[in-house]
Amino acid sequence: MRLSTSLPTDDEGVPDIAKARHLEQLGYDAAGMADVIIGDGTPGADPALTLAAAAAVTERIGLEFGVLSLPLRPVAWVASQVQTLQQLSGGRVVLGVGIGGFPGSPFWRAVGAPATGRGRWTDAALRALPDLIAGRPTLVGETEVTLGPAAAVPPILIGGNSEAAMRRAILYGDGWAPSLITPAGLAAKVARLRELAEELGRPVPQVSVGGHAILVDDRAALESFVASLTGPHGMPEEVARDIPVTGGAERAAERLAAYAEAGADAVGLGLDGGEWMRQAETLAQARALLTG
């Protein structure tokens, strides 16, 4: 199973780039960075710049956007950033994308991003991105654009739990990336994903699950995480408590195995609570137990 985790941040919310080296040494497949810039003072780092910095201090580990909000940025600009990061990193980008989750936020309004029609915007961007990254002439709006130097098109993962996101992944992506979902919930979604792929006459995309883990005894962090799901997301408490991966390496390995059985090819977990280094090591141990 492919395993990734998000780069941590310091007390002020600045990404700790040096931790990417630690993840590489532990054998992680990718270091990820979320795209959560709200504009109300909540810390949020630009993912492309963060991953470029991580590329400079690592050699092998993948650099994963988890996930990039496409409606926030002109598609040609996204393609240029990805193209450059592919060149600088030796082709290590994993491009997770989605429609974005904060369309009414101050940042979205400040950059003029669309609050409605995000799905159509994202579909149009996904149709153009591969050709733009590959350096082929591409029509963007009414303008033909050719970007260089050409780069290998990275794996494109489509984020979102909805059926629309699944369709988008089948039509335009290499993988589908649901998040905040239990293994049982994933199994049902994967069954539907396969039905949709058959209906559309397309291959079934790989499945990369995103979630959170608290692998230390930090009750405050757990309760805070559960509250973040039951409050803004309106998730039932019994479901919210089953979302985070908890416990030690053996229990985490059982959870990774459950996701694999449900159809996941990859799992990416943000590590909440304290002792990030210890948690990163525990999760790596869990994957090792899973693979034997």
| Token duo for residue 81 | 């950033």
Q: What share of the chain is helix, strand, coil (3-state, %, to 5)?
A: 45, 20, 35
Place of tokens 């532990």: 26
Q: Please state the φ and ψ torsions of residue 267, each to the nearest 5 degrees.
A: -135, 130
Q: Give the pairing of strands 175-177 and 2-6.
A: unpaired
pLDDT digits (tens, 9 = 90+) for 158-167: 999 999 999 9
pLDDT digits (tens, 9 = 90+) for 249-274: 999 999 999 999 999 999 999 999 98
Q: Please state the φ and ψ torsions of residue 96, each to the nearest 5 degrees.
A: -85, 130
User: Which sequence spans correspond to the domains of the chain?
Assistant: 2-154
Q: Where are the beta strands (DSSP E) in 199-273?
A: 206-214, 245-246, 266-271
CA distance 245 to 253: 10
Q: Please state the φ and ψ torsions of residue 199, each to the nearest 5 degrees.
A: -60, -35
Class of the CATH-defined domain 2-154: alpha beta
User: Minimal CA–CA distance to 214: which of 284, 286, 270?
Assistant: 270
Residue 76 predicted with pLDDT over 90: yes
Q: Please state the φ and ψ torsions of residue 195, each to the nearest 5 degrees.
A: -65, -45
pTM: 0.95
Q: Are 80 and 130 in contact (CB under 8 A)?
A: no
User: Minimal CA–CA distance to 47: which of 71, 26, 31, 25?
Assistant: 31
User: Minimal CA–CA distance to 6: which of 102, 94, 100?
Assistant: 94
Res 247: pLDDT: 95
pLDDT digits (tens, 9 = 90+) for 203-249: 999 999 999 999 999 999 999 999 999 987 789 999 999 999 999 99
CA distance 188 to 271: 26
CA distance 132 to 146: 6
pLDDT digits (tens, 9 = 90+) for 1-52: 999 999 999 989 999 999 999 999 999 999 999 999 999 999 999 999 999 9
